[in-house]
Amino acid sequence: MSKVLVTGHKNPDTDSISSAIAYAYLKKQLGVHAQAVRIGEVNKETAYALHYFQVDPPVFADEGVRQDVEEIILVDHNEAQQSIDDREKYNVVEVIDHHRIANFETMAPLYYRAEPVGCTATILLKLFKENNVDIPKDLAGLMMSAIISDSLLFKSPTCTDEDVQAAKELARIADTDLESYGLEMLKAGADMSDKTPDD
């Protein structure tokens, strides 16, 4: 079985990085040879979260990593222009996302899970539960960080009650104080120079 890459969008934010890591973990628990990758630099906010929870960043999806890969899974985006270069070379077998759908087309049926919530990690929490897979403490911390990031600590208009409840549940698993950690993480990323226009 050749490996499946799990990738977020270009100029990756904390949701794209954390959701790639968390979903690759879930797929591996389900027997899929999945590898989380990134298609851009880790920003300061995400670096803070990765360091805090002691998780390595995903590898950059260079030529070597892409070698012999035929299938990819998209998290936190679907539009072609935000996606991995040469996407048309791959078979997109799954998408987990919370954005509108545009510039997206497949040749074959796929698993596509979009929900109108504020963060991909909120959907991933449901997927872990639906598949009866426990979330490790460190990954729960990253998923919580993703929700804090996309929702600006629940202040964004895209934030739903489901995001708030998910973040609280993940904070309990991560054994982390949501508010104080969240403020520190947002502060670490507050140098806006490497923020992307869309979350």
Residues of the shown chain interacting with Mn ion in the complex, contacts defined by CB under 5 A: 13, 15-16, 76, 120, 150, 199
Which option in its own copies, Mn ion, none does residue 190 bind, with CB closer than 5 to 8 A by kind? none
Query: Please, what is the minimum distance in Å from the beta carbon of residue 69 to Mn ion?
Result: 22
Distance CA 137, CA 149 (A): 18
Distance CA 103, CA 178 (A): 36
Give the distance, in angstroms, between the CA of residue 105 and the centroid of all CA atoms in the same chain.
Answer: 21
Binders of its own copies in range 82-121 (CB under 8 A) = 98-117
Instruction: Annotate 14-76 with DSSP letters as a single string.
Output: HHHHHHHHHHHHHHHHTT--EEEEESSPPPHHHHHHHHHTT-PPPEE--HHHHTT--EEEEES
Query: Please, what is the minimum distance in Å from the beta carbon of residue 99 to its own copies?
Result: 6
Q: Which is nearer to its own copies, 104 or 154 (CB)?
A: 104
Binders of its own copies in range 116-155 (CB under 8 A) = 116-117, 130
Query: Please, what is the minimum distance in Å from the beta carbon of residue 77 to its own copies?
Result: 12
Q: Which two tokens mark 42? A: 């880790």
Query: Please, what is the minimum distance in Å from the beta carbon of residue 31 to its own copies?
Result: 15
Query: Please, what is the minimum distance in Å from the beta carbon of residue 165 to Mn ion?
Result: 17
Distance CA 82, CA 13 (A): 12
Give the distance, in angstroms, between the CA of residue 169 and the centroid of all CA atoms in the same chain.
Answer: 17
Which option in Mn ion, its own copies, none does residue 100 bind, with CB closer than 5 to 8 A by kind? its own copies
Which option in its own copies, Mn ion, none does residue 150 bind, with CB closer than 5 to 8 A by kind? Mn ion
Q: Which is nearer to its own copies, 68 or 105 (CB)?
A: 105
SS3 category, 177: coil
| Chain contacts with its own copies (rule: CB under 8 A) | 98-117, 130, 158
